[in-house]
Structure 1
Amino acid sequence: MIEEHRLRTLADFEAPRRANGPAEVTPHEHRRGSRCPAPRQLEADEVGRLLNMLLEAYDGRRPAAQVRALVAPEVYAGLSGPRRTRPRHRTQTIHTCAPAPDVVEACARVAADDRSFALAARFTRTPTGWRCERFALLKPQQPAKPNRRAA
């Protein structure tokens, strides 16, 4: 018995089907005029993956060019600067909030060399996906050295 397969023409865009009903996806206009689904909201695990990728680029374990499409030009400039040997930074805890519909802010506790640091990041939704607009690894200031005056 030969099975017959037929192809059908796809609509301009089709929302993915879920078991609990159709997903609500709002189409966005691309620069080229095509319509595609809007990037969905970032989940905490996706934010964690993005932060780890950015930390790998910061540490020099990942080429900064691999994350160029995911970050703003200012963030890319900070990641693609001169390479120094840095310890491996690992996220410990991540907290996210959405202060606006197209913005996700994240803070994380990051560990490196048995020390903890704070990480702050801001992601904004663009027509092509989420982009990191701010990325700051906040390290404690070194204590000021006392001035020694010759007597």
Structure 2
Amino acid sequence: MTPTLRPLRGYEPTDEIPLDLERWATPKPMVEPQLILTEETPDDGQLRTMLTKVLEVLDGRRHIAQVRTLLADPIYEATLTRLRTMPAATRYQLYSVHTCWPTPNAVEMTGRLETTRPGHRRAQALTARMERRQGIWTCVFLRILEGRQA
């Protein structure tokens, strides 16, 4: 007995041009800023979100324009350089973040992350400093430190 295959309406491609062209269009990446920290004192969750979004930029899941407002000019330029020089298959996973407030207008953070590339994993540390400038929190220092291979 031979099975009978029937197309499912609305799911199978046809030879006709679809009437709803937007359905088949490729979505354009967002290029406007997605996150701006303007709070008086951001909590640990907001700081962790900021670091996660920067790591998503580094591994290609997010466009750098979405975090531009969070990065001071030297950090932005260094991130662009890192994007050009690092392998595209690098994936970052942030596991922990610890904060220290040396002044009311500055927060220093350390974090533990794992870097995954095809064939190996590496434990690394991240350190960052954010300062409040004209009411907006800006990342003025960001460094991923090399660690041991896991």
Q: 2:100 aligns with which of 67, 85, 97?
A: 97
1:131 to 114, 123, 138: 138
Instruction: Determine if the alignment matches structure 1 residue 87 to structure 2 residue 90.
Output: yes
Task: Give the letter for the 2:123 counterpart.
Answer: S
CA distance in 2, matches of 1:118, 1:140: 7
Unaligned runs of 5+ in 2: 1-37
2:82 is the alignment partner of 1:75: no
Shift of 1:39: 3.2
- 2:50 is matched with 50
TM-score (norm 1): 0.63
How far apart are the structure 2 equivalents of 1:93 and 1:115? Answer: 15
* Offset of residue 115 of structure 1: 2.3
Q: Percent identity among equivalent residues?
A: 31
Report 1:1-150 matches (<5 A).
39-81=39-81, 82=84, 84-113=87-116, 114-140=121-147
| Consecutive aligned runs of 4 or more in structure 1 exceeding 3 Å deviation | none
Distance 1:92 1:141 in 2: 16
Which TM-score applies when normalising by structure 2? Answer: 0.64
CA separation in 2, counterparts of 1:70 and 1:137?
17
2:41 partner amino acid? Q
**Cα separation, partners in 2 of 1:48 and 1:102, compared to 1, 3 Å:** same
Displacement after TM superposition at 1:75 (Å):
0.6
Q: How many residues align?
A: 105
> What is the RMSD computed on CA atoms of the aligned residues?
1.9
